[in-house]
Structure 1
Amino acid sequence: MTARRHHPLLIPGLLLLVFGTAFGSVLLGAVAISPARVWAVLTGGGDAVARTIILDLRLPRMLLGLVVGAMLGLAGAALQGYLRNPLAEPSVLGASNAAALGAVCALYFGLAQLHPMILPLLAILTGLVAILTLFALSGTVESPLTLILAGIAVATLAGAGISLALNLSPNPFAAMEIMSWLMGSLENRSYAHVWIALPCVVVGAALLIADGRTLDALTLGEDGAQALGVNLSVARLRMMLGVAIGVGGAVAVSGAIGFVGLIVPHLVRPLTDRSPSSVLVPSMLGGAALLTLADIGVRLIPTNNELKLGVVTALLGVPVFLAHLIRERRLW
């Protein structure tokens, strides 16, 4: 008999949480719409005002919250397992920073004004370039420490490029637009953004989940994993491409949103057998629920200007993370 990998209520509970936050995202907002009107719209009826608000504004925003959050949570869990580092998250390989740099370049040079899709596509492209650079810097060495150091170099270079764009921005309005994007948001997103992010996230998630057996084997170290027949070169390729494509596509449409990939794996890990592969799917579901919940908070908190999503994820996540660490009295 195989050992139980999850608490029996973990996956069902997370699925209920995902569906609950998804419905809450459609129901709640600046304009009050009753559950009956929401249900009427979702079943093909409803009045014109409710249909416009729900189908054109809230539904694509909800879908993006689920998709982006799922990718960030999964990427964080996969990287923590692969690098055997409890502080690892998507930015550790520089992919999300490079994607942010691509988006900033689109804003700085005015390319985003030519077509709405130029910004996300350029963000995805620079994320892939970052991973190719990571390959060149790390060479054929399979050590996670080498990848971490190379990732820090790529992330630092991308951060310097973003700072340079802010420093040389032609006017205050350009700088404000760049800063606004860097803080992350799902406001004013459309189905076009969903169709950009979704294929990238599906491909990225498939590549990361395929590494589940490898992540478990790596708990024995590189030599132990190779003794079990794991091809570390192929595993590294899948990991880096999965992060670059998935996180690049997510960041491209949402802006830079941090902390989700760090906190979610730590929250779900105590309810698993703590093997890296057992944390992947729960982290994906938890990330989707957490980011969607944060986006609901963004809309409901009374402010003159809507808060940015990256700010709220930090405000919500840090206290929960610290309370979890105090309770667990451990990092891993």
Structure 2
Amino acid sequence: MSRWFIPALIVALVIISALSLLAGTVWLTPNEILFALSGTQTDLASLIVTEIRLPRLILAILIGGILGLSGATLQGLLRNPLAEPGLLGVSAGASLGAVIAIYYGFAAAFTLATPLFGLAGGFITAGLALLLSRSGGTLALILAGSAVSAIAAAGVSLALNLAPNPYAAYEIMTWLMGSLTDRSWDHVHLAAPFILAGGALLLFTGRALDALALGEAQAESLGVHVGRTRLLALFGTALGVGAATAVSGAIGFVGLVAPHVVRPLVGHRPGKTLLPAALAGAILMVMADIATRVIRFDGPAINLGVFVSIIGAPFFLWLVLHVRSRAP
């Protein structure tokens, strides 16, 4: 990997972040952004930047980063190029928790009820997946995650089916489509500690992932504790992705796409993919968020999760065909 690759990704993220502060229904000038960030003015432009766009930008960076990082970690851990955070059921569990908060009216009574219930749901599903797969290997973890994810998805469908009124169903569907609209500093303060802690745990798996590329038996012979690595990966994903999904709703494909974007440039080493994948995920998320604000149709704006799915689904199809063509 070129020593300039990570600095180049950081520079690209800074440029895209600056554009995110400028872009929107009301376009701002660079001078207005600088005055707003310096805190020397309290006009409308400053309020737009500090209370709307800046927390939204920070969340986009954190969420995209943890999705890309967890996707790279799980692909290395499971030795599966199609692995992504939703495979372990964390996203589905967080979605179910948020839906419960909306369905039973907790969201209307308490502003942060939806993300808090979503965070709890992500932890519960991750714990169930770990409990069901504790005596098995990689395949058991995949199967347990898929089972838990299916149960959580069934719960979401049941809530939609039994929604007490059309407004509750609409609110649930809107949240499930994923968005960063109307997110505030409260959401940043809630999600950031969990995302950063989860990201730190995932970064600790880098050396073990390189060894696991040779197989579990070979990794054990090199002194890697496979069970502990699996626990770190699962707990880090539960912390980070659970918190991300809790505040933004379901955002797919970033965790799948970001590692594949950077992998050819890092020599296909799982451990070396982690930090670049996190930066690439943050860039992709910020770019997608900008697009949802800039691209306008006659109807309502496109939700972030929908836009990412529209872009990510063709990539996923290409990836499946590419993997199949390389299979013996």
TM-score, normalising length: structure 2? 0.95
Could you say which residue in structure 1 is the equivalent of 2:288?
A: 294
Deviation at 1:47, TM superposition (A): 5.3
Matched, 1:93 2:88: yes
Deviation at 1:136, TM superposition (A): 2.1
Aligned residues of 1:76 and 1:261 also touching (Cα < 8 A): yes
SS in 1 for 2:39: coil
How many residues are matched? 325
Instruction: Trace 1:69-148 onto structure 2 (pairs within 5 A).
Output: 69-141=64-136, 143-148=137-142
Could you say which residue in structure 2 is the equivalent of 1:247?
A: 241
TM-align CA RMSD: 1.8
Could you say which residue in structure 2 is the equivalent of 1:258?
A: 252
Q: Partners in 2 of 1:248 and 1:109 — Cα distance?
A: 21
Q: Partners in 2 of 1:106 and 1:233 — Cα distance?
A: 34
Q: Cα 1:220–1:190, aligned 2, differ >3 Å: closer, same or farther?
A: same
Could you say which residue in structure 2 is the equivalent of 1:151?
A: 145
SS in 2 for 1:87: coil
Could you say which residue in structure 1 is the equivalent of 2:49?
A: 54
Matched, 1:235 2:229: yes
Q: Cα 1:194–1:224, aligned 2, differ >3 Å: closer, same or farther?
A: same
Could you say which residue in structure 1 is the equivalent of 2:197?
A: 203
Deviation at 1:45, TM superposition (A): 2.6
Could you say which residue in structure 2 is the equivalent of 1:273?
A: 267
Q: Cα 1:154–1:321, aligned 2, differ >3 Å: closer, same or farther?
A: closer
Deviation at 1:323, TM superposition (A): 7.1
SS in 2 for 1:302: coil
Could you say which residue in structure 2 is the equivalent of 1:212?
A: 206
Deviation at 1:164, TM superposition (A): 0.3
Could you say which residue in structure 2 is the equivalent of 1:315?
A: 310
Deviation at 1:317, TM superposition (A): 3.2
Q: Provide structure 1 residue ranges, at least 5 long, that are not aligned to the other structure.
A: 1-5
Q: Partners in 2 of 1:323 and 1:46 — Cα distance?
A: 49
Q: Partners in 2 of 1:61 and 1:258 — Cα distance?
A: 18
Superposed CA deviations along residues 158-209 of structure 1, whole A, max 9, x for unmatched, are 0000000000001111111101000100000000000111001111001111
Aligned residues of 2:198 and 2:236 also touching (Cα < 8 A): yes
Aligned residues of 1:138 and 1:150 also touching (Cα < 8 A): yes
Aligned residues of 2:68 and 2:278 also touching (Cα < 8 A): yes
SS in 2 for 1:268: helix
Q: Cα 1:52–1:172, aligned 2, differ >3 Å: closer, same or farther?
A: same
Deviation at 1:114, TM superposition (A): 1.6
Q: Partners in 1 of 2:96 and 2:322 — Cα distance?
A: 38
Aligned residues of 2:93 and 2:121 also touching (Cα < 8 A): yes
Deviation at 1:231, TM superposition (A): 1.2
Deviation at 1:315, TM superposition (A): 2.4
Q: Provide structure 2 residue ranges, at least 5 long, that are not aligned to the other structure.
A: none
Deviation at 1:221, TM superposition (A): 1.0
Aligned residues of 1:37 and 1:46 also touching (Cα < 8 A): no
Q: Cα 1:276–1:190, aligned 2, differ >3 Å: closer, same or farther?
A: same
